[in-house]
Structure 1
Amino acid sequence: MIDTDPAVLVLEDGSRFTGRAYGARGRTLGEAVFATGMTGYQETLTDPSYAGQIVVMTAPHIGNTGVNDEDPESRRIWVSGYVVRDPSRVVSNFRADGSLDEDLTRNGVVGISGVDTRAITRRLRDVGSMRAGIFSGDDAALIADEQVRIVKSGARMAGLNLSAEVSVASATVTPARGERLGALAVLDLGVKQATIENLADRGFEVHVLPQDVTLDELLAIQPVAVFYSNGPGDPAASGDHVALLRGVLDQRLPFFGICFGNQLLGRALGLDTYKLPYGHRGINQPVLDKATGRVEITAHNHGFAVDAPLEGIIESPNGYGRLEVSHVGLNDNVVEGLRALDIPAFSVQYHPEAAAGPHDANYLFDRFAELVRTHSARTPEEAE
């Protein structure tokens, strides 16, 4: 049944989009962003990288497959708000355990439906991601000026550190499957369950560590390698994570980072990061692997990027030797991957676990496992 209670989405520039309440009632604030995936809304909702954001779905029809207990990528829904055009009237999937609107209500997620999501997306593309608010229930009756004032009182994503909100409070361990490579230290900045499963499938005993772990605590598990996950927030506000990574690189431990981890590797190597106008979010982003010339369709969720020259080899400003941009986004020439040439470290800006999404980039987990095997096989003289 489609709800008839009024709701309104308000952007900080004063733009207003009226519709119907969807999910919980009340008000919510966050950065308005749009996601272009045609499928995978449950994985999107439970991706910790969306913490602090009101997500606008560009696909017009959402919710027809309902929700289930198998597809969530983390322990809860993380989006601050949810915007859809046409919510499904019924659930039609044999795997469904319930409906999307019921799940949103149960998790206290304030949403809105019945709005022109194409118009909202065009506004965000023209102006850039903005602070926003969804108002329903009693809050829908607030005067427009008061709603805009409330929206402008919200935090900006630039300069925001959200890692503590999404990270585990204590370490967890997932056993290796198949031939065991050793312990892998995963810094949880908002890691997705599919990432953990992919790493375990490659033979890693996956130790998911809290975001405030110290270098000594990390090294105490005797890791064969270190992995930095995806996550929300501004990489420029994560100085402690950069310092920890520099300690890891100084140990010459193999390193792989994805999404937020790519940005933090860039900063550890001495590069800058910057905020994109409206970011990349969806499961249909084309990326060029410069080493092979292959174009991959990839899953993205990022609003910041590394600032580095797309061509040629440069020296790390922080003394880690030579490095290069390994992958480039074909829509806007954004840096989508880094590769260090003199230390065992690489990263990509997208999600190779692809939950939900294409599996073109899944090979990167194999590349990481091979890097660890090669590094572990070196002689002491070669390690110098």
Structure 2
Amino acid sequence: MANAKATSTPAKVPGVATGVLVLADGTCIWGRGFGAEGEAVGEVCFNTAMTGYQESMTDPSYAGQIITFTFPHIGNVGTNAEDEEAGNPHALGCIVREDVTDPSSFRSIQHYDQWLKVNGRIGLSGVDTRALTRLIRLQGAPNGVIAHNAGGEFDLDALKAKAAEWPGLEGMDLAKTVSTTQQYEWDEGLWRLGEGYAKSPLPQAGGVGGGQSDEPTPSPSRKREGNLPHVVAIDYGAKRNILRHLVNAGARVTVVPGEASYDDVMRHEPDGIFLANGPGDPAATGEYAVPVIKQLLDTGKPLFGICLGHQMLGIAAGAQTVKMHQGHRGANHPVKRLEDGRVEITSMNHGFAVDIDTLPGGVKATHVSLFDGSLCGLELEDRPAFSVQYHPEASPGPQDSAYLFAKFVGQLR
């Protein structure tokens, strides 16, 4: 990484640099641009997953962020329509070590570079991602601008000013920008090679990749009768694979917008409520979501939250959230289940967390990170509500925690 001298007029960068990442402190990191041309400002983070870059780029929780992939070979399996967690990418762009090569997967239908172009997202290759990751670890996730210009011309003064003036994610409600605007029914189940995504599949004991829970799943006979427990999922930025796991566990799923009122939720007569993942500051989204969650808790109906949903359940229960130094993002995060000491390897994507030291009486910690001891799960002792900070649906990532969907749906009968 090298600092570049600012210029008051667009300057052509010598050599092959057609892309740049400009940080809020003025640091300029040069590389080779790919994907769409243009510029985007957001928080720069890193993701340690070795697979699943398309799932990460389309995860709504990455709204407002630029992803640094620590695995060097990103894009080499191409892209396909099945691996998208939303209708379009929500990450602003990506930073990678090696140039994107031609696809090497029988599932690929489009080159990653072309996919980024079509979706208006910027890529930057040729970057020392190890050095950038070290910078983030030491100094925290910075704000920055990623820019791509095929001619290598950049107005560095303007880019530095844009990076410095961006307010950051703290205090920012991004759930409104990614949530659905209207309710809909979801009936797609899990993916299988050669079959694609199932439609309302029969539940599998323990959930896919589970085996860590004795929680029962709905029986096939109940499935044939069509008498399925009804889950209303509040969409703060829900990944599709979460909804698929709810279906796979035996639930009928209705999705409602993140700004849905208590009445909007309850008119569907749910057996249980799911609080989805999403981007931004949970305290900001919680200004309208937490009062609704408190009312839903008073109904006594089971609640299950993931990521942003977990954080706002924590706030509703009386805890506080904090902005993390660098966040947790990757598919290799070890989490300890406190009830029995079992360790789950999990997929994570969050820059905020519920402060474990602020948990009030009646709320117990259920999981903690083995990386830094941060809270990764909580449960209310007087009501059937629980949540986890990590992503048990994976996509990408391990499936150690998929049993949680069976646990939740098992409470609805």
**TM-score, with structure 2 as normaliser:** 0.85
Q: CA deviation at 1:314?
A: 4.5
Task: Give the alignment partner of residue 185 of structure 1, picking from 223, 232, 245.
Answer: 232
Structure 1 position 44 matched with structure 2 position 56: yes
Residue 355 of structure 1: aligned partner: 395
1:281-320, Cα deviation, whole Å (9 max, x unpaired): 010000000012111100000000001239xx841xxxxx
**Partner-residue secondary structure (3-state), 2:411:** helix
1:123-173, Cα deviation, whole Å (9 max, x unpaired): 111110111001221795334333211111223100000111111111110
Q: Which runs of 5+ in 1 are unaligned?
A: 316-321, 374-384
Residue 321 of structure 2: aligned partner: 273
Task: Give the alignment partner of residue 157 of structure 1, picking from 162, 165, 169.
Answer: 169
Identity of aligned residues (%): 42
Structure 1 position 80 matched with structure 2 position 80: no
Task: Between 175-184 and 47-56, report the one with greater CA deviation.
Answer: 175-184
Q: Distance in 1 between matches of 2:152 and 2:257?
A: 39
Task: Give the alignment partner of residue 31 of structure 1, picking from 33, 40, 43.
Answer: 43
Q: Distance in 2 between matches of 1:146 and 1:163?
A: 28
Tell me if the contact between 1:177 and 1:204 (Cα under 8 Å) persists in the aligned partners.
Answer: no
Q: CA deviation at 1:104?
A: 0.4
Q: Distance in 2 between matches of 1:167 and 1:4?
A: 39
Q: CA deviation at 1:192?
A: 0.9
Letter in 2 for 1:206: V
Matches within 5 A, 1:233-244: 233-238=280-285, 239-244=287-292
Letter in 1 for 2:138: D
Query: CA separation of 1:65/1:138 partners in 2, compared to 1, >3 Å: closer, same or farther?
Result: closer
**Partner-residue secondary structure (3-state), 1:364:** helix
Q: CA deviation at 1:87?
A: 2.9
**Partner-residue secondary structure (3-state), 1:284:** strand
Query: CA separation of 1:246/1:130 partners in 2, compared to 1, >3 Å: closer, same or farther?
Result: same
User: What's the Cα RMSD here?
Assistant: 1.6
Q: Distance in 2 between matches of 1:177 and 1:309?
A: 41
Q: Distance in 2 between matches of 1:219 and 1:14?
A: 50
Query: CA separation of 1:30/1:140 partners in 2, compared to 1, >3 Å: closer, same or farther?
Result: farther
Matches within 5 A, 1:93-132: 93-132=105-144
Residue 247 of structure 1: aligned partner: 295
Residue 346 of structure 1: aligned partner: 386
**Partner-residue secondary structure (3-state), 2:412:** helix
Tell me if the contact between 1:5 and 1:136 (Cα under 8 Å) persists in the aligned partners.
Answer: no
Residue 59 of structure 1: aligned partner: 71
Q: Distance in 2 between matches of 1:49 and 1:136?
A: 24
Tell me if the contact between 1:4 and 1:21 (Cα under 8 Å) persists in the aligned partners.
Answer: no
Letter in 2 for 1:183: H
Tell me if the contact between 1:26 and 1:138 (Cα under 8 Å) persists in the aligned partners.
Answer: no
Query: CA separation of 1:314/1:164 partners in 2, compared to 1, >3 Å: closer, same or farther?
Result: closer
Q: Distance in 2 between matches of 1:231 and 1:48?
A: 6
Residue 269 of structure 2: aligned partner: 222
| Paired residues, number | 363
Residue 201 of structure 1: aligned partner: 248
Q: Distance in 2 between matches of 1:144 and 1:168?
A: 37
Tell me if the contact between 1:26 and 1:139 (Cα under 8 Å) persists in the aligned partners.
Answer: no
Q: Distance in 1 between matches of 2:411 and 2:363?
A: 16
Q: CA deviation at 1:5?
A: 5.8
Structure 1 position 367 matched with structure 2 position 398: no
Q: Distance in 2 between matches of 1:140 and 1:264?
A: 44
**TM-score, with structure 1 as normaliser:** 0.91
Residue 379 of structure 1: aligned partner: none
Q: Distance in 2 between matches of 1:109 and 1:143?
A: 20
Q: Distance in 1 between matches of 2:228 and 2:341?
A: 30
Q: Distance in 1 between matches of 2:50 and 2:150?
A: 33
Q: Distance in 1 between matches of 2:304 and 2:346?
A: 17
Q: CA deviation at 1:35?
A: 0.5
Structure 1 position 300 matched with structure 2 position 348: yes
Q: Distance in 1 between matches of 2:151 and 2:387?
A: 44
Tell me if the contact between 1:56 and 1:82 (Cα under 8 Å) persists in the aligned partners.
Answer: yes
Q: Which runs of 5+ in 2 are unaligned?
A: 1-14, 188-199, 203-222
Q: Distance in 1 between matches of 2:102 and 2:318?
A: 52
Q: Distance in 1 between matches of 2:344 and 2:412?
A: 24
Q: Distance in 1 between matches of 2:104 and 2:241?
A: 24
